[in-house]
Structure 1
């Protein structure tokens, strides 16, 4: 009985391995960019960065999305959403918080009218 289960698992494992290798093929989209990796390792020297990969869904740009007092980011076709704060690395400026504060100021100015 145990042998028959093992014989059934062999083709299953072969299929899993084949599909995994197809998924991780070395394509332009998954190939690490050594220049980007070097740049980020220099930018964040205390952070052990393993690799960088281009996100093709953001090729058309990263868009700021405002929803009331909330700000998040997404791609053009609405298939990706990034929730969090965006920072200017060199100055450690929280760009997201800056936009939230600016929106609050505009909102308060509108209340005064």
Structure 2
């Protein structure tokens, strides 16, 4: 858990130069997904309600503009690279939270589309 916390702090430092004109920034995406890390890394079997709420917030905010969607995607890509989620949990987050997440939680996603 200390490694996950340290990774999040590193991510926040890396994204401190986010585009402030966007309604959504990487700090917000990271904060929204932080409650999901225990599920995404396999520490718990089911995402908690506050994880799903954060995921819903990302979906809602990312849907406001293509810029927000690309920014959220790139931030999640970086976060996935650092945290290394279990692929099956990353895929199943949408189903467990009953949302349609607009992109994969993966370090290999192409955010240009």
Between Structure 1 and Structure 2, the one with more helix by share is: 2
TM-score in terms of structure 2 length: 0.29
Q: TM-score, normalised by structure 1?
A: 0.29
Bigger CA radius of gyration: 1
The structure richer in strand per residue is 1
